[in-house]
Structures are given as structure tokens and as C-alpha cells.
Amino acid sequence: MNKQIEKLKERCSSYRRTTFKEKDKSISRALHIPYSGMSDPDYVDFYDYLEDDACSLLSDWINNLDNIEDLDYDELVDEFDSIDDDSTLHQHVESSLTWQQSLRESDIIINNCDYEETDSGLWEGIEDPEEAITSKAFWTYKEEVANTARAILKEFEE
């Protein structure tokens, strides 16, 4: 396997600053906003949280590639561009945001991501405004995780 891929795997597998117990996960918590019921929470920066999520995606994706031994770094990057075609990215973000329910957390996601999803067709037909905003936050966060993962991949270009 290529040295770049080895370094990428090492980088992604060692990045775990934002690991919370499942019941304590919250975007609000990641943004230093008091999380109800927490007396002395361990806050982290939203962007660290986002980077951790992108590293987790890359690590899981690389570890599940069948042909990793046959790929060079450029082929790996090309392969990543099709990650959404096999629903890996969607499933990853869906599991990351299963606990993300409130308007407050949706607002935090939308306002702190560099990317903002504007394709209203993704939430068209959702009658409840709160669900529509939560859907917009999901699609926004999904693209932001993918963009962050791409930026991490770029770090290892020779």
C-alpha cells in the first residue's frame, strides 16, 4: 500500500477528540452551548467535532474498501468522489445526526457550516416547518462532512 494512504489511515484513526457517550452527543454541546442536564460538560469546538466526523467517515470507508491494496493515492481520491453513490456518506451522517432533533441544533449546523444546502427539493413536501429545517440541516451537514473529508484527503497529496 502507498505511503500516502498509510499516513492518511494513521491520521484518521488517531483523531478522536470529540468522542462522547451516545446519550451526551449534541451539536449544541460541540458549540459550547450549555446542554440541559449536564452539570460540568466537556465542551469541544464545532469544527473539531466536524473534523472528527470526517475522519471517522474516511477511516471507516478506507477500512471497508475491498481493493485498497491495489489502489494508489490518486485512485483512492477518485474512489472517494463516488462515496455518495453507494450511500456510505448518507448512512454515516444519518448515524451522526440521529440525536440531532431540535430547531436550535439545526440552526447551529446551518449557521456554522461553510456550505449551506439550498436545493429545497430535498425537503419539499415536508409539511412541518421544524422537520423541513431539520432536513435542510441534515443535507447541509452531509455536504460539509464530505467537503471536510476531501480537504483531509488533499493534505496527503504529494
pLDDT, tens only, 57-75: 898 888 888 877 788 888 8
What predicted TM-score, i.e. pTM, was given to this entire model? 0.79
Phi, psi of 62 (to 5 degrees): -60, -45
Per-residue pLDDT band for 33 (boundaries 50, 70, 90) equals very low
| pLDDT, greater one: 33 or 26 | 26
Domain span at 68: 3-155
In this predicted structure, the answer to whether residue 112 has a pLDDT above a threshold of 70 is yes
User: Are 88 and 96 within 8 A, CB to CB?
Assistant: no
Rg (alpha carbons) of the chain, rounded to whole number: 17
- Tell me how far apart the alpha carbons of residues 75 and 47 are, in angstroms, rounded to a whole number: 28
Count of domains for the chain: 1
pLDDT in tens, 123-146: 888 888 888 988 899 899 999 999
